[in-house]
Amino acid sequence: MKKLLSTLLLSCAVSFAAGVYDGAKPLRVGPVSAYGALGTSGSKVVSISSGKQVTLRGMSLFWSDATGSPYYNSEVISWAAEKLGIDVFRFAMAIDCYKESDCSNNSDEKVAASYKSNPSGLEAKLDNMVKVAIENDIYIIVDWHSHRARSEQALATDFFGRMAAKYANVPNIIWEVFNEPVNDGMGEIASYANTVISAIRTNGSPNLALVGTPFYSQMGSCGGVNQTNVGYVFHFYAATHTLGAFKNAIEGCLSNNAVFVTEWGTTEASGAGSISEGSSKEWLDYLDGKGISNCNWSLRHETVGNKPEASAMFKGSTVLNSKAALNEASYTTSGTIVKNYLTSKSRVGTWADSITAGKHTGACAFAHASASEMETSIEGKASASCTYTSSDESVATIEAGSIKIHGAGVAIMTGNDGSQTVVNITAMPNQTFTQPNVTCRLSGSGCQNFSGDSKMQQKMNETVTIEGSPITYTSDNPDVVSVEKMTCTSANCYSYKNQQVWIASFKSVGVAHIRATAAAVPGYRALDTTVTFTYAKNVNSLNTKYFKNQTVALGSTTQVFTVEAHKVPVTYTITPEGYATQDGEMLVAGNVDATITIHAVAPEAETYEAIDETIMINIGAGNLSMIEGITPKTMANVSMNARMNGNKLVMTAKHSGFVTVQVVDMAGRTVKNVVKYVSAGSNVMDLGEVAHGNYFVNVKQSSMVKTIPWSNK
């Protein structure tokens, strides 16, 4: 298996309102407005409110690690909803760096992108994707994308409980609490699922919860979860798994339970190898016949590094995460099969009829209307002889038959005869602009010669947006940085040589804001944004060969100081006094073990910035307790102890949870920052990769904080 997505007016208004979360609301009409939150009834996935059977079709995103992350993007999901007609997408949240997810490749990057290492980052990403689901009126599967969730039960229970409370009133959510169990029996899986889903229900979410089944969710058995609105997961890859081999297992489960295929592929189980179009069609015909919802693996481009993924939707090795890029994308063989399937089943044009069924009739009814938010009105649709009530006046209202556009979204217009019509005002996306902020220094660092006139220049990245609209740049402070179109003539121009491009010229120290504007193009807003260009003095610093954290011998004389830095006098303060003195460039150490700090300051010069640096020096064996402000102390530390043992941090936690460990050098710079999930009891973290020197280690769990002085020898 893959080892690596009026009464009716009131009811409609409630359906739309239920999808609002943190300012997000539906911007188009989709399945969530038609069905609301989902649950189960016998063998069917159903609308909780109406009891109607629901079949969803969509895409799974790839693991949310370094490979799949670029596609966790609002434009990607909006594009898939509009162009592929997806009803649902799967948020495949990578929990840890597993061998199954190719952890040997770019493992540091993958670890950093996992939930265990970066919970706040993944939760922020989920928050954004929930908003995107709401705006597109489609469902999102929140997938604990793990093969060993039972060993992560405490972490999963905490996550799903908090997310259920956060999204309790969001009907778009579907929970998938275990992606693909590997070595767990159904009884063990059910025990885990009962605990996790209980946390979901306790925190207010009744929404559909999906549970993986034994051996990569191949449904060797199912059942045993005693919670409400539970379905069981089946996964298949058509070139490996035939319908004939698994049909009986699926139908056995369907006799008492709902089934949801949260991941399927046209390829072999590895996600690579051959593609079976015939087996894929046989499977899809079967799923459609049974009304089983499904998500294809996966919405990404084919090749990352040197590794191709045949199950990917798009050809090539380029990230495609803008609508413009996706519109020009080429599909893989698998992607073509999936695109044809999804578009053939798309119900994009039918949802408005679904939510006004039985009411879209009468003298005041008119054809469901849509327009861009860039327009001011829609004429010739509504009846001038009728009056209408809008379910959302921030979207549209009707005056004397003219539909007045106020903003993006969906409004149901109820005529005075009780008829209902949907008006959908579509949001216009921004054009793509990639120019970063720029800092150029007097030395020429950050600048180049592009026009042949000056080396203090920077070529603007773009003369037109990706969407094709010409960009105009203007500076609010042309005495600092001017910007104009020039012929790019130097070797630094590369493919732009001898072309007219926008070039910024740095003139005097200061800050300028460069405004970029471009006219609207079909489907996209006008561009109007700014970037900051800074012309700065050179960085002044002391020679780190001498001025550095170090240990010196008792009674020794060591070069530490620099009398001047770029002809600017430097002043040093040694704290505490009496343990060492400055003699020109030399530090003369006393004969007592001590730890001192040396603070260096130098004023700003004509071409150099000011200096403000601090180092720490141990004399002999050192004595960290002498340094004011770093005496070990515990703040509200009633359940956690922490200490350094050599280069290892030993923590004893009373309860499991996330711990933040921050290593700070004597200049106040953070040299290492780790968020780690620890179990109750003793835990050890190796900090051996931190360079030799003197540090403070700050350990925080919930409100408990401990600061530990650490001399890493």
Is pLDDT above 60 for 4?
no
pLDDT at 42: 97
C-alpha 708: how far from chain center: 33
For residues 535 and 508, the answer to whether their CB atoms sit within 8 Å is yes
Strands of the sheet containing 633-635, edge to edge, are: 633-635, 704-712, 693-701, 657-665, 670-678
Highest mean pLDDT among 66-75, 91-100, 541-550 belongs to: 541-550
Nearest-10 Cα torsion for 98, 103, 107, 111? -20
Decide if 164 contacts 204 (C-beta within 8 A).
Answer: yes
* pLDDT score recorded for residue 286: 99
The per-residue pLDDT for range 482-499, each reduced to its tens digit, is: 999 999 999 999 999 999
CA 288 to chain centre: 32
Which positions ≥6 away from 395 have C-beta within 8 Å? 405, 406, 407, 408, 409, 410, 411, 423, 425
Predicted local confidence at residue 644, as pLDDT: 82
- pLDDT digit string, tens, across residues 39-50: 999 999 999 999
- CATH topology match: 7-94+126-345 vs 633-712: no
DSSP-derived secondary structure letter, 101: G
- Measure the CA angle with vertex 534, ends 529 and 535; round to 5°: 145
Which CATH number is associated with domain 550-626? 2.60.40
Task: Name the residue among 104, 147, 73 with its Cα closest to residue 305.
Answer: 104
Q: Could you please state the CATH topology (level 3) that the domain comprising 7-94+126-345 is classified under.
A: TIM Barrel (3.20.20)
Residue type at position 489: T
pTM above threshold 0.85: no
* Helix, strand or coil, per DSSP, at residue 190: helix
What angle (nearest 5°) sits at the alpha carbon of residue 309, between those of residues 151 and 91? 45
pLDDT at 10: 33
- Any idea where the domains of the chain sit in the sequence? 7-94+126-345, 356-426, 438-536, 550-626, 633-712
**pLDDT of amino acid 523:** 83
Query: Nearest-CA neighbor of 36 among 59, 57, 11?
Result: 11
Backbone dihedral region for residue 185 (phi beyond 0: left; psi -120 to 50: alpha; all else: beta): beta
CB 364 within 8 A of CB 386: yes
263 is catalytic: yes
CA dist list (Å): 610 to 497, 535, 572, 585, 621: 39, 16, 14, 20, 33
Asked if residues 253 and 232 have their Cβ atoms less than 8 Å apart, the reply is yes
Q: Residue 108: pLDDT band by 50, 70, 90 thresholds?
A: very low
Tokens of 237: 């890859």
**Per-residue pLDDT band at 111 (split at 50, 70, 90):** low
Tell me the one-letter amino acid at 634. T
Q: Could you read off the pLDDT of 539-594 as tens digits, one per residue?
A: 999 999 999 999 999 999 999 999 999 999 999 999 999 999 999 999 999 999 99
| Residue 323 binned pLDDT confidence (cut-offs 50, 70, 90) | confident
Q: From the candidates 263, 302, 309, 462, give the one annotated as an active-site residue.
A: 263
d(CA 352, CA 357) in angstroms, rounded, equals 8
Looking at per-residue confidence, does 543 or 662 come out higher? 543
Residue 609 is a catalytic residue: no
Confidence of residue 187 (pLDDT cuts 50, 70, 90): very high
> β-pairing, 571-575 with 633-635?
unpaired
HEC readout, 314-380 = ECCCCCCCCHHHHHCCCECHHHHHHHHHHHHHCCCCCHHHHHCCCCCCCCCCCCCEEEECCCCEECC
CA distance 600 to 631: 23
Percent of the chain surpassing pLDDT 70: 91
pLDDT of residue 324: 85
Does residue 170 carry a pLDDT above 50?
A: yes
Whether 110 shows a pLDDT value over 60: the answer reads no
What residues contact residue 1 under an 8 Å CB cut-off, 6+ apart?
180, 215, 216, 217, 218, 235, 237, 269
Measured CA angle at 158 (ends 706, 293), to 5 deg: 150
pLDDT score at 561: 97
674-679 contacts, C-beta under 8 A, 24 or more apart: 674/117, 675/117, 675/118, 675/119, 675/120, 676/116, 676/117, 677/116, 677/119, 677/155, 678/651, 678/653, 679/154, 679/653
Rounded CA-CA distance 94/14 in Å is 34
What tens digit of pLDDT does each residue of 408-444 get?
999 999 999 999 999 999 988 888 888 999 999 999 9
455 has a pLDDT exceeding 80? yes
- Whether the pLDDT of residue 311 is over 60: the answer is yes
CA distance between the termini of the chain = 48
Place of tokens 């949260």: 262
Higher pLDDT, residue 269 or 696: 269
Q: Residue 616 pLDDT > 70, yes or no?
A: yes
pLDDT confidence of 524, banded at 50, 70, 90? confident
Greater pLDDT, 6 or 174? 174
Q: What is the pLDDT of residue 96?
A: 87
Tell me: the pLDDT tens digits for 462-484? Answer: 999 988 999 999 999 999 999 99
Please count the other Cβ atoms lying within 10 Å of the Cβ belonging to residue 358.
Answer: 7
Nearest Cα residue to 565 out of 509, 537, 605, 599: 605
pLDDT digit string, tens, across residues 355-400: 999 999 999 999 999 999 989 999 999 999 999 999 999 999 999 9
Asked whether 51 and 35 are in contact (CB, 8 A), the reply is no
Q: What is the pLDDT of residues 201-255, one digit of tens each?
A: 999 999 999 999 999 999 999 999 999 999 999 999 999 999 999 999 999 999 9
Residue 352 has pLDDT above 90, yes or no: yes
The answer on pLDDT for 501 being more than 80 is yes
DSSP-derived secondary structure for 450-470: SSSS-SSEEE-S-SB-TTSPB
pLDDT given at position 98: 54
Distance CA 141, CA 113 (A): 19
**Residue 223 in contact with residue 251, Cβ under 8 Å?**
no
Q: In this structure, what token pair is assigned to residue 240?
A: 């490996």
What is the C-alpha to C-alpha distance for residues 139 and 171, in angstroms, rounded to an integer? 8
**DSSP symbol at 442:** T
Annotated catalytic residue within 176, 180, 309, 467: 180
Q: Is a pLDDT exceeding 80 seen at residue 701?
A: no
Q: What is the pLDDT of residue 698?
A: 82
254-265 average pLDDT score: 98
- pLDDT the model gives residue 135: 96
Residues 599-623, mean pLDDT to the nearest whole number: 93
If pLDDT is split at 50, 70 and 90, which confidence band does 624 have? confident
Q: What is the distance of C-alpha 340 from the center of its chain?
A: 29
Q: How far, in Å, CA of 591 to CA of 9, rounded?
A: 87
- Beta-carbon count within 10 A of 77 CB: 26
| 594-617 average pLDDT score | 94
Pairing mode, if any, of strands 568-569 and 564-565?
antiparallel
- Looking at domain 356-426, its CATH class is mainly beta
Q: In the structure, what pLDDT confidence band is assigned to residue 112 with cuts at 50, 70 and 90?
A: low
pLDDT of 666 > 70? The answer is: no
Classify residue 17 by its DSSP letter. H
Count helices and strands (H / E) in the chain.
13, 43
Residue 452 is which amino acid? G
Taking the C-alpha atoms of residue 84 and residue 79, their distance in angstroms, rounded to an integer, is: 8
Report the candidate in 111, 133, 127 with the shortest Cα–Cα distance to residue 27. Answer: 133
**For 633-712, which CATH class?**
mainly beta
- CATH topology for 438-536? Immunoglobulin-like (2.60.40)
Percent of the chain with pLDDT over 90: 75
Q: With 70 as the cut, is the pLDDT of residue 148 above it?
A: yes
- Pick the more confident residue, 695 or 91: 91
How far is it, in rounded angstroms, from Cα 642 to Cα 704?
11
